[in-house]
Amino acid sequence: MDLVTVTSHRAARGREDLALAPGETLLAGGTWLFSEPQPEVSGLVDLTTLGWPDWESLPGVLRIGATCTVSRVLEAPWGPAAGLVRSAADSFLMSWKVQHVATVGGNLCLALPAAAMVSLAAALGATVVIWTPDGGVRQEPVADFVTGAGTTTLAPGEVVRAIDVPTASLWLPTAFRRASLTPLGRASAVVIGCGARVIVTASTTRPVVLDADDLEAGLAAIDCWYDDPHGPADWRAHVTGVLAREVRQELVS
């Protein structure tokens, strides 16, 4: 939709361009920003002109740039984890067109429970690389970065630069399960096994990391079941339990 209150657009070329004036907001793929009215936004600062690489192989980590699109992320050198990445990308309720512009960083920052890049990154034990307004950098596990439905630890002026995925986690055994109310509906529960960990998203307001060896206690302790038109909380809790047990079984078989 047209954002009728927007009167300016700046293409960011360097870090100094990311200081926002009143009314400005960061624009990545724009798939959410342009999907609903933004009455408080009068200017857009485009991150996609920063020229960040979609991915870089750094010592010990695969770095995925925040502006990498969901469709491009599939082409990164995931090695044995490529199948898991495909399953995560396919779990979006998202058209082909949207997948080609929606970014990994935008998905993390929006922090919807059904944010498939959050599911994937949390499962692989990734950390978020965040540029702070004082010129510094801070890093935080993705599972801690998302604090609730639509909320993160991002402070005013902070920008997500990338996610760093430990390359060691790409070689761990993985399992993926997803449930939704309708075959092509928005994810109501996503459970991913990675090594000895089972990660729950979509059915909870934030990512929950469980120990596969202590699964029942971990499931019983979950206190953030999500409730919306894509599934009531009690149903999500039940389905998540079923999927988590399947994932644990697949990890050991």
Ligand X SMILES: Cc1cc2nc3c(=O)[nH]c(=O)nc-3n(C[C@H](O)[C@H](O)[C@H](O)COP(=O)(O)OP(=O)(O)OC[C@H]3O[C@@H](n4cnc5c(N)ncnc54)[C@H](O)[C@@H]3O)c2cc1C
Residues making contact with ligand X (CB under 6 A): 25-33, 35, 47, 66, 92-95, 98, 102-103, 105-107, 109-110, 112, 114-116, 159-160, 186
How far is residue 252's CA from residue 173's CA, in Å, rounded to a whole number? Answer: 9
DSSP code of 225? B
Q: Which is nearer to ligand X, 186 or 197 (CB)?
A: 186
Enter the tokens of residue 108: 């993390």
Which helix or strand (DSSP H or E) is residue 83 part of?
helix 82-90
Using H for helix, E for strand and C for coil, what is the string for 144-165? Answer: HHEEECCEECCCCCCEEEEEEE
Rounded to 5 degrees, φ, ψ at 238 are -65, -50
Q: Which is nearer to ligand X, 109 or 172 (CB)?
A: 109
Task: Kindly state the smallest distance separating residue 143's Cβ from ligand X, in Å.
Answer: 16
Q: Which is nearer to ligand X, 34 or 235 (CB)?
A: 34
Q: Which is nearer to ligand X, 45 or 212 (CB)?
A: 45
How far is residue 48's CA from residue 29's CA, in Å, rounded to a whole number? Answer: 8
Task: Kindly state the smallest distance separating residue 204's Cβ from ligand X, in Å.
Answer: 14
Buried b (16+ CB within 10 A) or exposed e, 173-188: ebbbbbbbeeeeebbb
Helix (H, G, I), strand (E, B) or coil at 107: helix
Task: Kindly state the smallest distance separating residue 12's Cβ from ligand X, in Å.
Answer: 10
Task: Kindly state the smallest distance separating residue 237's Cβ from ligand X, in Å.
Answer: 20
Task: Kindly state the smallest distance separating residue 135's Cβ from ligand X, in Å.
Answer: 16
Q: Which is nearer to ligand X, 101 or 219 (CB)?
A: 101
